[in-house]
Amino acid sequence: MNATILDDLRAALPQLSLLTEAADLEHYGRDWTRRWTPAPLAIALPTTVEEIAAIVRWAREHKIALVPSGGRTGLSGGAVAANGELVLSLEKMRSTLEYDPVDRLLTVQAGMALETLRSIAAGHGLQYPVDFAARGSASIGGTVATNAGGIQVLRHGNTREWIAGLTVVDGRGEVLRLNRGLVKNSSGYDLRHLFVASEGTLGVIAEVTVRLADRDPPASTVLFALPSFAAIMPVFAALRDRLRLQSFEFFDACALKHVLHAGAHAPFDQPYPYYAIADVDADEAGLLEVFEACVNEGRVEDGLIAASDAQASALWRLREGITESLAPHTPYKNDVVVRTPRMPAFLAEAQSLLGAAYPDFEVAWFGHIGDGNLHINILKPAALSQADFVQACERATKLLSECLQRHGGSISAEHGIGLVKKPYLHQTRSDAEIAAMRGIKAVFDPDGIMNPGKVFD
Ligand code: MLT
Ligand code: ZN
C-alpha cells in the first residue's frame, strides 16, 4: 500500500527528493518531545514554493496527511509524524531571497536556521531580535508556526511582531503571498497573523519576510542569587524601574544543579534557592545601586556583574544550558504564562499544588519570568516507567491548567499546543474560540490534511 502511494508520488513529481530509509523516518518523524514513536510514510524535501504546492495538491487528491517540518526543536509534539504522514521538510529551503535596506526587510526561505538569519541581520549592522537557546537548529518557519518567544521578548516582543510578510501554501494547495512586507495594510483580515502560531495546521510556511531592528546598546549582564520565590518579581521591578532592561530570566537550584552537572562552573561559592539573570543597557553604577538596595531589603543574597563579554556568555550559559542538561531526564514540560501582576499568587499556588501532588518528583522551575512566562519541567524518576510518569504529569498539568484558568493565564506561552497540550486547550480558550479556530482550519484546509491531530482534533 505505502509502496503504491509512493510510486504514485514519484510519478507525479519525478524531481522531488524523497527519503524512505528507516533511519530517516525515525530522524524526521520526531521533535524534541521524544514521546511518540516516529512512523511517517516518507520525507519529502522540496526546494521551491511551486514544489510545495504540487506536494500539497497531490496529498489532497490522495488524502495523505502532511506534517510540515523545520528544525524539529519543538517541545509540544507539533512536528511529530507518528501515523503514516508525509513529512514535508523545509531543510533544502534555506536561502536568502531578498534584502531591502530601505525598509530593513529580509526575505528568506522558511528552512533557514534562526541563527543564520540573525547573523545575516548582524552583517547588515542590524538585528533580528527573536532569540533563544535552540537558535542553531530551529528554522525560521518553525518559529513563525509556534510564534516563538525566547529571551528577548521583554524588550522586543515575540516572533509575531517581526513578521512583515509570509508566503504560505495552504491546505488547498493555494499559494498565498500575505502582506508582502507592507508596513501599513488595512485591506481586510490580516491572514498573515492566522498562520503565526498555526503549528502547521493551516498550511506550509514557505518564505518569511522579517523586519530588522537597530541593534541594542551594549549590555551589562548581572546574576543575582535570591533567597525565595517571593523575591523574584520585586527584583524584576527594581531593575525595570531604575534601568533599561533587555531581558530578565530566572532559574531555581534544581535547574542549576543539572547545568553544573553537565559541565558548567558554579557562579557562587554556595548554592542558593533561586537565581535571576538580566541584561540591562550598560550602567554599572545603576546596577550596583539596585543590587545594594535589593540586598538591604533582603531580596538578594549575592550577585555577579560580568566584567567581560566572555563572562557574560558564561553566565548566560547557566540559563541557556538548562533545556539540554535536563534532556536525559525526559522532562515533562510546562510552558505557562500569566500577566505579571498575577505571577506571585500563581507561583505560590502552583508550587504548593505540585509539591502536594508529587512530593517525590524533582521539578525544575525556570523561564522568562519578566514577560510572565514560566517553564515548569517535571523530571522522570529513574525507577518510574515513561508511561506511568506521563500519566502522573498529565494529572499534574490538569491541576496546573485549572490554576492557570483561575489566574487568567495560558497553558502555552511560546512552545505551542501540538500534541502535548491539546487536552488542556479548552482551559485557555473558550468553546466559541475553539469553534472559530475549527472554522478557520476548514477554510484553509478543507480536507484536513495539514498536520491533523495537532492543536485540536
Ligand atoms: C527555554 O526557555 O529554555 C525553553 O523554552 C524551555 C524548556 O526547555 O522548557
Ligand atoms: Zn522558553
Provide the ipTM: 0.97
Cα(363)–Cα(379) distance, integer angstroms: 6
Domain containing 285 — which CATH number?
A: 3.30.70.2190
Domain-located, residue 437: no
Cα separation, 177 vs 180, in Å, equals: 6
| Nearby residues of 7 by Cβ (< 8 Å), 6 or more positions away | none
Specify whether 143 is located in the same domain as 78: no
- Can you give the residue range of the structural domain that contains 252? 219-323
Q: Tell me, yes or no, if the pTM score tops 0.80.
A: yes
The answer to whether residue 386 is domain-embedded is: yes
Provide the b/e sequence for 85-114 (b: ≥16 CB within 10 Å): bbbbbbbebbeeeebeeeebbbbbbbbbbb
Is residue 157 situated within a structural domain? yes
DSSP state of 77: S
- Split the chain (457 residues) into runs of 10 and give each run's mean pLDDT: 90 97 98 94 98 98 98 97 98 98 98 98 98 97 98 96 98 98 98 98 98 97 96 96 96 98 96 97 93 98 96 97 94 95 92 86 94 95 91 91 95 97 96 98 98 97
Residues 337 and 393 in one domain: yes
Q: What is the pLDDT of residue 360?
A: 84
Q: Which residues line ligand 1 (CB under 6 A)?
A: 75, 132-133, 322-323, 333, 367, 375, 377
Q: What is the CATH number of the domain that holds 191?
A: 3.30.465.10
358 by DSSP, 3-state: which? coil
The predicted structure's pLDDT at residue 1: 64
**Could you give the CA distance from residue 97 to residue 82 in angstroms, rounded to a whole number?**
33
Alpha carbons 151 and 413: distance in angstroms, whole number:
13
If you measure from the C-alpha of residue 196 to the centroid of ligand 1, how many angstroms do you get, rounded to a whole number? 19
Number of domains forming the structure of the chain: 4
284 close to 222: Cβ distance less than 8 angstroms: no
Domain boundary among 323, 356, 377: 323
| Nearest protein Cα to ligand 1, atom 7 | 323
81 and 103 belong to one structural domain: no
Same domain, 110 and 166: yes
Interval between CA 59 and ligand 2 midpoint (Å): 34
Which CATH number do you get for residue 366? 3.30.70.2740
Whether residue 199 sits in one domain with residue 106? yes
Ligand 1 center from residue 21 Cα (angstroms): 31
Q: Of 290, 308, 323, at which residue does a domain stop?
A: 323
284 and 340 in a single domain? The answer is no
Which residue's C-alpha comes closest to atom 8 of ligand 1? 323
Does residue 436 sit within a domain? no
CA-to-CA separations, 41 to 19, 26, 154, in angstroms, rounded: 9, 11, 41
The side-by-side arrangement of strands in the sheet containing 203-211 is 96-100, 105-109, 203-211, 163-170, 175-178
d(CA 301, CA 297): 10
Q: What are the cell numbers at 169?
A: 501554501
Assess whether 344 and 316 both reside in one domain: no
Residue 334 alpha carbon to ligand 1 centre in Å: 9
Buried b (16+ CB within 10 A) or exposed e, 245-274: bbbbbbbbebbbebbbeeebeebeeeebeb
Strand partners, 317: none
